Amino acid sequence: MTESECYAAQATERFQDDERVFPTDDPGVTSLRIGRACVQFRAALDGSSISSDDEIKGDEDGLVRSILTGLMHWCAANGLDFDTEVLDARFMFDHDNKGKEPRS
C-alpha cells in the first residue's frame, strides 16, 4: 500500500468513526462530514494527512478547487450538467442552514 493509499484509508476510517460516534439526522452535519472526508481524501492523494478542519483553513494547496475540478470532469464524463448540480447544491445548503447562525 502506498503512502497516499494509507492516508486515504485513514480519512475513510475517520469519516466512518465520526458517523458511529456522533450519529445524526441533520443533513447539514452529514454534508459537513462528507466535505471534510473529500478534503482529507484529496490531501491524501498528495501524500498529506489532514486530521482536523483547523489544518485546512485557507486551503493554500487548492484542495477544494481540485475537488470541484474533479467533479466537473466526472459530471461531463457521465452526462450531468455541473452548473445545474451546483445550483441544486446551493439550494440544499441554504435549506440545511435556514435559521442557523453562519459559521465563522
Q: How confident is the model at residue 84 (pLDDT cuts 50, 70, 90)?
A: very high
Which pLDDT does position 90 carry in this prediction? 93
Are 9 and 16 a contacting pair, CB within 8 Å? no
Q: How confident is the model at residue 23 (pLDDT cuts 50, 70, 90)?
A: low
pLDDT in tens, 31-43: 777 887 788 788 7
Task: Give the range with max mean pLDDT: 1-15, 26-40, 73-87.
Answer: 73-87
Which pLDDT does position 64 carry in this prediction? 84
Which pLDDT does position 47 carry in this prediction? 75
Sequence-distant (6+) residues with CB within 8 A of 32 are: none
